[in-house]
Amino acid sequence: MQSSSSEIHHHERCRPVFPTENTGPADSDKGKVRRRVMGKSSAPQICRQQSFGRDIGHAAAETYLITRLSFDLLGYLGVGYRWITRLLALACYAILLMPGFLQVAYHYFFSPQVRRSIVYGDQPRNRLDLYIPPPTSAGLKPVVVFVTGGAWIIGYKAWGSLLGLQLAERDIIVACLDYRNFPQGTISDMVRDVSQGISFVCNNISAFGGDPNRIYLMGQSAGAHISSCALIEQAIKESRGERISWSASQIKAYFGLSGGYNLFNMVEHFHNRGLYRSIFLSIMEGEESFEQYSPGTRLKEPRVRKAASLLTHIVLFHGSEDYSIPCEASKTFAEALQGVEVKTDLIVYNGKTHTDLFLQDPLRGGKDELFDHIVAVIHANDSDALSKDAVAPPRRRLVPEILLKLAGKVSPF
């Protein structure tokens, strides 16, 4: 899709530096990883946040894009009973949670702590949102790069706004990446987009007050699959001595939430859930690509073993009652990681579904084990931050309990 004239003008004035992946000799000294990754390029030009009017124009352009892609998608899916019922269930689910969504949307559009649609690449939807903590303390902040889910079809950066706003309250910067979805792109495009977004954050986040030495990567559902593929692919490049724009060893920890990591095990499951085999194969570029984009399987390759030593601490979260992606997916991935001696934690939440951990529980407010665990890992070596966490007020409830329970009953996920 072609950009509007106002959008082109904005890009010309505020074009950032996009690091590129090149091959070449790499410095084997880990203490020099940062210098090798960054190179000698000058500081990137960072633009100010767009005006609200420009945001409206951008939103209109993206609405047109998403609408057109939706019609393209219908051409793949056809209109069947299974999709109609799921669409109706999704509409009911969204209506029930609307009181919370409206509050989050207000902060997303009007909070001075949210920097929307920062361009990180030259492809459509190569944008990210930044959630900046209030300036209450000095020093660089830890950063979470978050990749949203959406069945590789309906992912969007704003889906991470609730997580971004809540982590920002704990003095953590969050970068929510957007990326091309199917049918605009296939899995290789998605992994490439996410890798470029991570690169942009690693190389530019200090301009926004982020600490480039405390970057964490997190993905949810399909976003967990895509981000884990990007992380392992980068570790492989690094282990081969290729010149890279970001290093897998820069990532302090990886959080995988309700993800699927083995395409061989997922194709039939998704077909039975309504993501038909023909669509899934189109998204994943055919069965011949399954091994390349199955992190749990790829780790077993002898030539990939060296890359495993570069992987960071991996923390996998899953709900025991997740029917969209069964928790067995995280269990088998954890076993594969542990088999190549990667530090891995698996946390299964009894009775939780695919959306409980990411939506209903955060909207409920109060204590949240998943949120507290993520914050504890990020602040583990920061005694001041841990002291503030201990006295932090409970998160505010955004949706009445009865609506949350009804939403859980009708959820199509």
**C-beta of residue 149 within 8 angstroms of C-beta of residue 155:** yes
Backbone torsion region of residue 95, taken as left when φ is above 0, otherwise alpha when ψ lies between -120 and 50, otherwise beta: alpha
Q: Which two tokens stand for residue 338?
A: 């542990």
Tokens 């299974």 map to which residue?
Answer: 82
End-to-end CA distance of the chain: 30
**Residue at 65: amino acid letter:** L
Catalytic residues: 221, 322, 354
Q: Which two tokens stand for residue 298?
A: 């790829």
- Number of C-alpha atoms within 13 angstroms, CB side, residue 235? 23
Q: Which two tokens stand for residue 260?
A: 């699927």
Phi and psi for 281 in degrees, rounded to 5?
-65, -35
**C-beta of residue 55 within 8 angstroms of C-beta of residue 262:** no
Q: Which two tokens stand for residue 115?
A: 């920097």
- Helices (H), strands (E): how many in the chain? 17, 8
Tokens 């495993």 map to which residue?
Answer: 308
Q: Which two tokens stand for residue 148?
A: 């949203």
Pairing status of strand 344-349 against strand 313-319: parallel
Integer Cα distance of 413 and 403 in angstroms: 17
Question: Which residues sit opposite 141 in a β-bridge?
Answer: 210
Phi and psi for 359 in degrees, rounded to 5?
-125, -65
Please report the DSSP string for 50-74 in residue order. Answer: PPHHHHHHHHHHHHHHHHHHHHHHH
Question: Which residues sit opposite 22 in a β-bridge?
Answer: 243
Backbone torsion region of residue 123, taken as left when φ is above 0, otherwise alpha when ψ lies between -120 and 50, otherwise beta: beta
Q: Please classify residue 142 by burial: count the beta carbons closer than 10 Å to its beta carbon, then call 0-12 exposed, 13-18 middle and 19+ buried.
A: buried
